[in-house]
Amino acid sequence: MLNDIQTKILYLLLESNGLFSNDIAMKTGLSSKSVRTHIGIIRDELAAHSLYFNSNTHYGYWIDEEDKKGIYAYLSSMKSTLFPETQYQRVLFIVLSLLKNNRLASAQKISETMHVSKATIIEDMKEVRLIVDLSKNLQLIAQKQGGYILQGKEQDIRRLFTVVCYLNYNNNRSFLKHAIEFFFCNQQITTFIHNCLIRQLRVSTLNLTDRSLTIFTYELVFQFYRIKNGNEIEFKRPKHEKLDFIPEIESFMNTSLSSSEYAYIYNLFKEQAKIQENNINENEEYNRNVKVITECLNLFKKKYSIGSPDLSALKQHLIYCVNYKDDYNQPAASAAFFQINDYPLAKKETRELTEHISQKTGYTFTEEQFHQLTSTMVTLLRSSLTKHRALLLTNVPFGYHTYMKDWLNTRIDLCEITEIKPLYEINSLTEQEYDLIISTNKNILSTTYKNTIEKLNIPIITISSNLDFADIEKLNKQIKHIFITDYPSIANS
Cα separation, 221 vs 176, whole angstroms: 13
Q: Can you give the pLDDT at residue 249?
A: 84
Average pLDDT over residues 171-181: 81
Average pLDDT over residues 120-135: 85
484-487 contacts at long range (C-beta below 8 A, 24 or more positions apart): 484/344, 484/345, 484/414, 486/344, 487/342, 487/344
Q: Are strands 415-421 and 60-62 parallel, antiparallel or unpaired?
A: unpaired
Mean pLDDT computed over every residue of the chain: 76
Residue 26 exposed, middle or buried by CB count within 10 Å (0-12, 13-18, 19+): buried
Q: Can you give the pLDDT at residue 383?
A: 58
Q: Can you give the pLDDT at residue 76?
A: 66
User: Does the pLDDT of residue 326 top 80, yes or no?
Assistant: no
Asked whether the beta carbons of 292 and 357 are under 8 A apart, the reply is yes
Cα separation, 227 vs 233, whole angstroms: 9
Among 220-224, 282-286, 460-464, the range scoring the smallest mean pLDDT is 282-286
pLDDT category at 71 given cuts 50, 70, 90 is confident
Average pLDDT over residues 11-38: 84
What is the Rg, in whole angstroms, of the alpha carbon atoms belonging to the chain? 26
Q: Can you give the pLDDT at residue 77?
A: 63
Write out pLDDT tens, residues 288-297: 888 888 888 8
Q: Can you give the pLDDT at residue 275?
A: 42
User: Does the pLDDT of residue 394 top 60, yes or no?
Assistant: yes
Amino acid at position 414, single letter: L
The answer to whether domain 4-77 and domain 388-483 are alike in fold is no
Among 178-182, 272-276, 316-320, the range scoring the smallest mean pLDDT is 272-276
Write out pLDDT tens, residues 440-478: 877 777 767 777 777 777 888 888 777 766 778 788 888
User: Does the pLDDT of residue 284 top 70, yes or no?
Assistant: no
pLDDT category at 261 given cuts 50, 70, 90 is confident
Sequence ranges of the domains in the chain? 4-77, 87-276, 280-384, 388-483
Closest CA to 57 of 29, 32, 21: 21
Cα separation, 260 vs 110, whole angstroms: 36
Average pLDDT over residues 273-287: 54
Q: Are strands 103-104 and 148-151 parallel, antiparallel or unpaired?
A: antiparallel
Cα separation, 99 vs 163, whole angstroms: 12
Runs of H (alpha helix) within 362-415: 367-384, 400-409
**The model's pTM:** 0.46
Cα separation, 95 vs 82, whole angstroms: 14
User: Does the pLDDT of residue 115 top 70, yes or no?
Assistant: yes
The answer to whether domain 4-77 has CATH 1.10.10.10 is yes
Task: Please give the residue that has the higher pLDDT: either 295 or 279.
Answer: 295
Contacts of 286 (CB under 8 A, 6+ apart): 323
Average pLDDT over residues 13-35: 83
For the segment(s) 388-483, the CATH number from 3.40.50.300, 3.40.640.10, 3.90.1300.10, 3.40.50.2300 is: 3.40.50.2300
H/E run at residue 460: strand 460-462
Cα separation, 102 vs 261, whole angstroms: 20
pLDDT category at 340 given cuts 50, 70, 90 is very low
Among 5-9, 243-247, 305-309, the range scoring the smallest mean pLDDT is 305-309
Asked whether the beta carbons of 41 and 30 are under 8 A apart, the reply is no
Task: Please give the residue that has the higher pLDDT: either 140 or 339.
Answer: 140
Task: Please give the residue that has the higher pLDDT: either 342 or 375.
Answer: 375
φ, ψ (nearest 5 deg) of residue 431: -65, -30
